[in-house]
A and B are shown apart, each in its own frame.
Chain A
Amino acid sequence: MAPQPKVTVVQYGMGNVLSVCRALEHCGAQVELTTDPAAVAAAERLVLPGVGAFGDCMAALAGRRLIDPIREFVATGRPFLGICVGMQILMDASEEFGDHAGLGFIPGRVRQIETHSSTGAARKIPHIGWTSIEPASRKHAWARSPLSAVDPGTPFYFVHSFTAAPSDSTDLLACADYAGAEVVAAVQRDNITGMQFHPEKSGPAGLAVMGAFLS
């Protein structure tokens, strides 16, 4: 029998940590929920959830002295998963409520989803609900990512008003069409994966993706 995969979830007061932990446990993982910088740096796999405003999340990480340990962890090459705002803060910066610097693991910015379609019709913001995701231009990346557990076109659960905009298209993993606006559904660079949708709330498909992250 394969050993139980271990995963560390960063607890920093931002997000539905309980649901993320439960979903990982459901996938067979031994989950460590921590606020401890040393535990973050030493993790086997790291998950960074996040809900709320970009600036608040960065401030909460900084306030708990977690930014350097996260950098240390990422430098080890071990698997890292950012979810929702936990994905957005992988970028250089965000325009949400002013200009805020991110972790800068993936070049690019975070910008608001366009509030109007090309025809001028108002688009409902935030984007809440199930939207299917498709591979971005670099199609082979999908097969080498946790998304390989699902088929392109599978719906996932989204809740967001802002979207990442990687400046290097090779970091783009998956996109989604929200009422005519292209939103970034997932990014990947080296050992870092980011998901804008909530795999922990996306039913069996979400669990399959989380399971693939653990394997």
Chain B
Amino acid sequence: MRTIRLIARLDVKAPNLIKGIHLEGLRVIGDPNMFARRYYDQGADELLYMDVVASLYDRNSLLDIVERTTQEVFVPMTVGGGVRSVEDAGKLLASGADKVSLNTAAIKRPVLISEIARRFGSQAVVLSIEAKRQTSGRWEAFTDNGRERTGLDAVEWAKRGAELGAGELLITSVDQEGTRKGFDIPLMKAVTDVVSIPVIASGGMGQISHAVDVVNNGHADAIAIADMLHYDRATINSIRRGLLDAGISVRLDTRAA
């Protein structure tokens, strides 16, 4: 049985942790390092930092946050937003990130996925896809926090990304994100059906049953949680217990609070 990972997602507009709805209407939540530490203490399996304004080079704010987090958080960290080259990826990895996530730059130049995978290994490359439901019943990949169309079919792009060497996929439903109405299960299932790499489901978790649903019916390997954690409507541990009660395998570390 696969062990489902619980990932705390921190969207950052430096220097703040922020949260929006449909990836927009961003509200300031607080200090990202403080929240990162809190989720680590709660037993998060991983952390995911996403810089919503891709400010990798604006006073290196994201790098600063990552470096500080490395001093007190000892679980894997994925960092994305503004990664445009192998050098960008190298900088983040040297600052303590374990994986980088790519979106816009990979859409503009898909071979970037292969370049980073060749240099640092597939396990270090997460392809992030913002998917928006279309009237056709399919999903289109978007960039810039769900604002810019790409013309790419999200599921086809996911498959292509895996072939190019991505080690993991982060699938964010723009429609569900921030709504607390549950994950886009058909989207997750459509993606997990066509790739063999792990898929992280993101966007829409409002209650623990949503997580159970996306694991059992969307076949997600990992769940990214933001809203529920930021607004203290659940802890990593209460979510973990809910999944366990539903018969889903999660990491159990007796040392976590």
Binding site for B on A (CB under 8 A): 16, 18-19, 22-23, 26, 51-52, 122, 124, 126, 128-131, 151, 154-155, 157, 159, 179, 200-208
Contact = CB atoms under 8 A, between A and B. Distances in A.
Nearest to A204: B255
A18 B251 contact: no
A123 to B, nearest CB: 10
Contacts of A206: 74
B11 interface: no
Contacts of A202: 74-75
The main secondary structure of chain A at its interface with chain B is mixed
A179 B249 CA distance: 13
Top 7 closest pairs, chain A to chain B, by CB = A204-B255, A130-B251, A155-B251, A159-B123, A201-B76, A18-B96, A203-B75
Contacts of B255: 203-205, 208
A203 B256 contact: yes
Interface string B42-80: 010100000000000000000000000011101110000
A124 B197 contact: yes
A131 B2 CA distance: 10
The main secondary structure of chain B at its interface with chain A is loop
Contacts of A129: 3, 5, 45, 198
A110 to B, nearest CB: 16
Interface residues of B, number: 32
Given A18-B95, A129-B45, 5 more contacts: A22-B70, A124-B198, A130-B3, A155-B251, A202-B74
B94 interface: yes
B98 A201 contact: yes
Contact of A52 (B76, B121, B167): B121
B253 interface: yes
Interface in B95-139: 95-96, 98, 120-123
B196 A124 contact: yes
Given A128-B198, A130-B5, A207 B74 contact: yes
B183 interface: no
A18 B90 CA distance: 13
B254 to A, nearest CB: 7
Interface string B234-256: 00000000000000000111111
Nearest to A127: B123
Contacts of B142: none
Contacts of A208: 255
